[in-house]
Amino acid sequence: MLLPLDMLRAGEVAEVEEVSGHDSWVGRLADLGIRRGCRLRVVQPGSPCLLDVGGCKLCLRGGECSQILVRPVG
């Protein structure tokens, strides 16, 4: 089941399935490690949303999280 990233709760792990938006936005997220197939963990949900991606912490605004579709893991 695919969900927008902003639907996950603290501690949940998910695999990214799709990132939508402008090419520059999608490319920037890919540079930061958020791309199809990557796993991430929600540290703090909401706006801003704090994520752990490959051991790095990233902070995204709430609206940005809705452009990232994920598949919950475990």
**Number of domains present in the structure of the chain:** 1
Q: Is the dihedral of CA 32, 36, 5, 28 positive or negative?
A: positive
Domain that holds residue 14: 3-73
CATH number of the domain that residue 21 is part of: 2.30.30.90
H helix runs in 1-74, sequence order: 23-31, 62-65
* pLDDT value at residue 63: 84
Q: What is the mean pLDDT of each run of 10 residues along the chain (74 residues)?
A: 95 97 95 96 94 95 90 92
What single letter denotes the amino acid at residue 53? V
Which residues are within 8 A (CB) of 67 and not within 5 positions of it... i.e. 6 or more apart?
Answer: 4, 19, 20, 21, 25
Tokens encoding 46:
């909401």
